[in-house]
Structure 1
């Protein structure tokens, strides 16, 4: 079968020194591509396609070598270039009259650039910002060569690259976003301090977050307490003062302080529980009970059989 013949043998008889491609790794496979276009789908066509791709593989490796030393291993770059080559071989149409190399080179380059854009960034960066980074990077390198001794400013980079200062600032910020640092990396630290890593600068969970809802639930009730009772609760629970210390500060007995704390906490607790019952009643479809609880809270009156005796005693 014709497909069992190596791709290069299809054109070796027609090749001439004048018809050679400019690169040694660019074989003349024009006849092989014409045969590939005529073959029906099947094993023979797939075999010929693989032969053509194998002959053009050195060119793909050469293109991959252009992107070495950019943070990706050469073996991985060659694999990406080979993938682009396979796509080019599958999509190439010899009837358009364009040489395969002219079609394959931008296809392989595009596949490699897409790999850098989608797989090499440590964080997700929009494509627009990636394009700004490329322009800012080129402008920065050119200005550094023409103006040695100092770093170019964002305004100078913007003028050189034809960008606005905001776009140049976004590109400069993206310059440092391509790769990330390890948490063990050393960072700047104050003078006379020990070694510090990035992990040492991370915050810890805030235990106050667990009581945010409780604080917001009791805040209205605290505001309705008498001034002296609010002061006692503030000194006890926010300043950590003992009942004896509070008593000495206010000029009352420690027992009186204890009774006021217990009475205030009981009144607040019952009002909060009453509010929760109102919400439960609404969820169960009992609007009358919920309305009564709502009116009761608006009037600022204590719940029946709850804190009313204590408030009258105060």
Structure 2
């Protein structure tokens, strides 16, 4: 019998049946579930607060982090950093680990998933939205978002409002309202430049400088100082500088001489300057 050639030996060595296969997602999931069961048996008999209890608890968290990543992926369209969503979901995972009872006959992923998802939803509800959205509109927005993803995959393009409305059996106005509600997750700065048009931010286009703004502090200071004067001197100042009356008109209004009005004005100015610490 002739000896095998070099090419035949290479083919034999490269036989796929002799190369170990990479673990599939299903096998990794099964391994994680088996490890979780073993860890929970040990976890349940350990005393809380002991180093061994903390070690097993940490191992349970690490073994089930893929569950958190899977749940967080459902929220990838929210434009929130995925690291933050995973961190929030991990808090839900830890709560589920602390409350799980393996003797009830429920698989841990089945028990933990609602807690993880609920923690993430609570995070978006309480910390992300900048505008409060009615609960019904929020729930409908989730359906619109899911239908948009499905139709995008189906047609290879972004669906129209009519297509989304037909898919969900709702009106187009409701679809538009949901899309508008989805924007409440992020507020855009008024100073941000507008995309595409190259124009400056909205604040630069609609804002203006109020010329009366510079006098706000001065008016507030004058109001504070005026209350320190006698009532007659307050009235003279108001007639002179707020009603724009001349000294002769003020003298006729009060029934005193113009010279007396002038002296009262000078005395009021002296009091105001002495009381104004900024000028001092």
Matches within 5 A, 1:93-132: 93-122=101-130, 131=135
1:67 partnered with 2:72: no
> What is aligned with 2:46?
39
Q: CA deviation at 1:88?
A: 1.6
> What is aligned with 1:134?
138
Asked if structure 2 preserves the Cα contact closer than 8 Å seen for 1:84 and 1:107, the reply is yes
Cα distance in 1 for residues equivalent to 2:241 and 2:96: 73
1:91 partnered with 2:95: no
Q: Deviations along 1:146-174, whole A, 9 cap, x unmatched?
A: 389974599xx7xxx9xxxxxxxxxx8x7
Q: CA deviation at 1:105?
A: 0.4
Tell me the TM-score normalized by structure 2. 0.54
Q: CA deviation at 1:257?
A: 4.0
Q: CA deviation at 1:103?
A: 1.5
> What is aligned with 2:263?
262
Out of 27, 38, 42, which is 2:33 matched to?
Answer: 27
Tell me the TM-score normalized by structure 1. 0.49
Q: CA deviation at 1:59?
A: 1.4
Q: Label 1:45 to 1:93 Cα distance change in 2 as closer, same or farther (>3 A).
A: same
- Count of residue pairs the alignment pairs up: 211
Q: Label 1:195 to 1:94 Cα distance change in 2 as closer, same or farther (>3 A).
A: closer
> What is aligned with 2:12?
none
CA-based RMSD: 4.9
| 3-state SS, counterpart of residue 77 of structure 2 | coil
Cα distance in 1 for residues equivalent to 2:238 and 2:71: 72
Q: Deviations along 1:11-33, whole A, 9 cap, x unmatched?
A: xxxxxxxxx89x66862333431
Cα distance in 2 for residues equivalent to 1:110 and 1:70: 15
Gaps of 5+ in 2: 1-25, 148-160, 272-280
Asked if structure 2 preserves the Cα contact closer than 8 Å seen for 1:84 and 1:108, the reply is yes
